[in-house]
Amino acid sequence: MRKAKLLATCMTCALAGCAGDGKGLDENGRPEGESSGGTLQPTFQSIQANVFTPVCTACHAGAAAPLGLRLDEGASYALLVNAPSVEVPALRRVQPGNPDASYLIQKLEGTAARGGRMPLNQPALPAETIAVIRQWITNGAPNSPGASGGVGGSSKSRFELVTLTAISPARDEAVPAPVRDIVIASNVELDASLLQSNLIQLRASGGDGNFDSGNEVPVPVNVTVRSDLPSVLAITPRLAPLEADSYELRISGGDPVAMADMQARPIDGDDDGTPGGDFVLRFTVEMTR
């Protein structure tokens, strides 16, 4: 059983070409070459390629990811940095600048108050690997190789469209209840002052999966900015986690107030290649079996 899983992990790794140098996992499921001072660097990209993708995504991927924690490329940063742990909500999964208070580190070191040591049912990561992840967090857990300033800080972004991406739930996805938050990422830094303007609306379908039948139920939400460069927004139902139903999240890209970046460029919410248009995300929350 375990052998099969490891083999599957190795194949995933080989297919993804992770580590960029043909290295995969050794027979203990550890990224090769690290203990011999290999390729792992204290940057998010290096940790993703050498640890999260080859070791963690065997479980932490897709709609069924444990505790909603997806560690695949594209989702992991938004779901780790400044995101509350489900097991110990008082702690963040990654608390920039403070590895000891970061639940991710506690899970990797086996000191967490709840659950097992990660990677679950596999040999622990080498101490040197955990030390590098600690260093990234000490450095402020930046999203880019540089010490600060993500892709949003580059001058190139002035000519890009402002886009939004559904991280969790993904578009049209069915996810198990309860859903504690909806996480959306941008490609640039959004103007957080606009979040006062009520431009994010969440509705439940009323049980019929239809959003035009008149029985829809508005769900009051709080919006928090998890990180800035680029922006990650967490949209949290104010009263209780989402129960089984279909949901529609709408972020305004037009009148009366559009979500926009720091240069007041509105989002290309409907993805038609020109600024403007609402961003609409539909997903279904399913009863947990």
67 binds ligand HEC (CB under 6 A): yes
Picked from Ca ion, ligand HEC, none, the partner binding residue 197 (CB below 5 to 8 A depending on kind) is none
Q: Residue 174 in 3-state DSSP?
A: strand
The Cα 23–Cα 79 span in angstroms is 27
Quick one: 49 or 56, whose CB is closer to ligand HEC?
Answer: 56
For ligand HEC, the binding residues in 112-171 under the rule CB under 6 A are: 115-116, 118-122, 125
Please say whether the beta carbons of 162 and 230 come within 8 A. no
Please say whether the beta carbons of 76 and 52 come within 8 A. yes
Binding mask 207-226 for Ca ion (x = CB under 5 A): -x-x--x-x-----------
Question: Residue 201 Cβ, how far from Ca ion at the closest point, in Å?
Answer: 15
Quick one: 198 or 213, whose CB is closer to Ca ion?
Answer: 213
Across the chain, the runs of DSSP E, i.e. the strands, are 164-168, 174-176, 182-186, 200-204, 217-218, 221-228, 231-237, 245-251, 279-286
Question: Residue 86 Cβ, how far from ligand HEC at the closest point, in Å?
Answer: 4
The Cα 14–Cα 9 span in angstroms is 9
- The site for Ca ion, by CB under 5 A, has a size of 6
The Cα 25–Cα 33 span in angstroms is 9
List interacting residues with Ca ion (CB under 5 A).
Answer: 205-206, 208, 210, 213, 215
List interacting residues with ligand HEC (CB under 6 A).
Answer: 51, 55-56, 58-60, 66-67, 69, 85-87, 93, 103-104, 107, 115-116, 118-122, 125
